[in-house]
Amino acid sequence: MIPKENEKIHRKNLAVCPDCDLVLRYREPEPGQRLCCPRCNCTLSAPVENSVEKTMALSLTGLFLFFPAIFLPLLTLDILGLESTGSIFSSARAMVESGFVFTGVAVFLTSIVIPFVKLLLLFLVSLQLYLSRGDISTVFMFKVYRRLDEWGMLEVYMIGILVTVIKLLHMAKIEYDVGFFCFIGLLSATLLSSSFLDENYYWKEIEENVKGADKRVSLKAAEALEEWL
């Protein structure tokens, strides 16, 4: 029979894989290490040093670059003396005006609205945690951010631009405008802010600092399992 003390130790630090539900013994990894599920290889924890500060700085950079990247012209195409230029906003509007309403609205949402809302929410949540002034809205904003995470598609738009450039390279003279460089900066800031975001740490900070957050609501599956055992 296992002694009571050992039993307690075995029940401590349990984690549940969010993808395949495997219950695991959990050990807090060091910054730079990555804890993966042995069954499905899902990342359970990947701590980042100074995650809040880095994420806040990058999301703020993204917000500064957002409006020039969306409203300034990206490329100027010169085909047989006919010049054509456009921004992300004007291309979405042109699609709607040409009758491609669904495509235009999809581009508008996934390339303009959602990336902006994501950056804004990430900045506000990071700022609140940095100042230790979180409230119940921090929980709401972080949940909305996570829901929107897969719907921002700036990188898909970038692939579209690259395909256009490659296809027209031999047919047209291409000039890269200010909006193009702002867009690359915006894309880099968005991708880096997501990669420096340590979600486990953010939830831990929210749980510890946010006044009014119901601890029972944030009870993890592994903690519930510990209670039941």
Instruction: Give the interface with Zn ion as residue ranges (CB under 5 A).
Output: 17, 19-20, 22, 37, 39-40, 42
Minimum distance, C-beta of residue 36 to Zn ion, in the bound complex (Å): 8
Q: Closest Cα to residue 76, out of 95, 90, 63, 93?
A: 90
Q: Assess contact for 167 and 173: CB atoms under 8 A.
A: no
Beta carbon nearer to Zn ion, 9 or 40: 40
- CA–CA distance, 103 with 92 (Å, rounded to integer): 8
Minimum distance, C-beta of residue 23 to Zn ion, in the bound complex (Å): 10
Minimum distance, C-beta of residue 104 to Zn ion, in the bound complex (Å): 39
Report helix, strand or coil for 164: helix
- CA–CA distance, 25 with 193 (Å, rounded to integer): 29
Beta carbon nearer to Zn ion, 35 or 105: 35
Beta carbon nearer to Zn ion, 27 or 173: 27
- CA–CA distance, 68 with 181 (Å, rounded to integer): 9
- CA–CA distance, 91 with 78 (Å, rounded to integer): 17
Beta carbon nearer to Zn ion, 37 or 129: 37
Minimum distance, C-beta of residue 34 to Zn ion, in the bound complex (Å): 14
Minimum distance, C-beta of residue 200 to Zn ion, in the bound complex (Å): 15
Q: Assess contact for 59 and 213: CB atoms under 8 A.
A: no
- CA–CA distance, 129 with 135 (Å, rounded to integer): 10
Beta carbon nearer to Zn ion, 92 or 222: 222
